[in-house]
């Protein structure tokens, strides 16, 4: 059985975000809101499967080879264990 729920008071920033996101995805605002609710409460198929997080995707692969080498060189000391601390 389906039921309707009405959101009567929604701040402008949230309403604007919903409109932009729905437009970006090419779906209706109602469809977007239903997807967000289902995902939030874990009733969508994706959340029931093994979840992959993409929090740092925008950073992945952005270093040049030289920058990656500099980082590894700068953090190499962290790979060594100080035996005195483990006694």
Q: pLDDT tens digit string along 32-77?
A: 999 999 888 888 766 555 566 667 777 777 788 899 899 999 999 8
Q: What domain range is 67 assigned to?
A: 12-79
Name the domain count of the chain.
Answer: 1
In angstroms, the CA 70 to CA 68 distance is 5
C-alpha to C-alpha distance for 75 and 67, rounded to whole angstroms: 12
Q: What is the pTM of this model?
A: 0.49
For residue 6, tell me if it sits in a domain.
no
- Is the residue at 87 inside a domain? no
pLDDT in tens, 13-39: 999 999 999 999 999 999 999 999 988
Place of tokens 């009405």: 6
87: pLDDT strictly greater than 80: no
Q: Does residue 74 form part of some domain?
A: yes
Q: List the structure tokens of 74.
A: 């700068």
Q: Structure tokens of 34? A: 């239903």
């Amino acid at each position: 059985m389906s039921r309707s729920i009405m959101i009567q008071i929604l701040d402008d920033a949230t309403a604007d975000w919903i409109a932009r996101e729905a437009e970006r995805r090419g779906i209706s605002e109602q469809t977007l809101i239903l997807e967000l609710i289902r995902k939030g409460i874990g009733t969508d198929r994706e959340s029931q499967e093994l979840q992959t997080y993409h929090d740092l995707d925008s950073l992945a692969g952005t270093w040049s080879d030289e920058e990656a080498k500099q980082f590894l060189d700068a953090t190499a000391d962290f790979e060594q264990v100080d035996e005195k601390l483990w006694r």
